[in-house]
Amino acid sequence: MREIMISATERLQYLCDTIPALISHISEQEFSHKLSANKWSKKQILGHLIDSAANNHQRFVRVQFEETPFIVYDQDNWNACSRYQDMEPAHVIAFWEAYNRHLLEVLKRIPAESLSRTCKTNEAEPVTLLWLVEDYVKHLEYHLRQIVEY
């Protein structure tokens, strides 16, 4: 179980060390371009990952002291109300990096015995903290590949 956690934190470390520089080289026009009105731009996808970090931060912390917390979020409304599309790219990139570096530090300090604690999300059944961590990193990897090749 701990090996999965270490793998996830190593992958998150790699993303924090690699992705900001790659995204910074994307032109403002490409970063903000929307293929259609109901599709997110690359900037909004990165914003979605910030929202995911905020919600998963709660999960990673609260699951350690609450009995099966219930934490879900409406990703479309979070993205719309945060208005990432209107923000400077450098701000969105820096905030994504800072938040994920913070989560990395939180994750490194989770006691092994907490990894089996559970949380309710939009999944059918409660999931473990270990599952949440692995799913978070997989989710990052999936969406970051929509923004940039790495």
pLDDT at position 6: 79
**pLDDT at 5 exceeding the cut of 90:** no
Least confident of 3-7, 46-50, 103-107, 116-120: 3-7
Query: Which pLDDT score, from 0 to 100, does residue 3 have?
Result: 75
DSSP letter at 14 equals H
State the Cα–Cα distance between residues 100 and 12, nearest whole angstrom: 8
Q: How far apart are CA 122 and CA 142, in angstroms?
A: 18
CA distance 127 to 136: 12
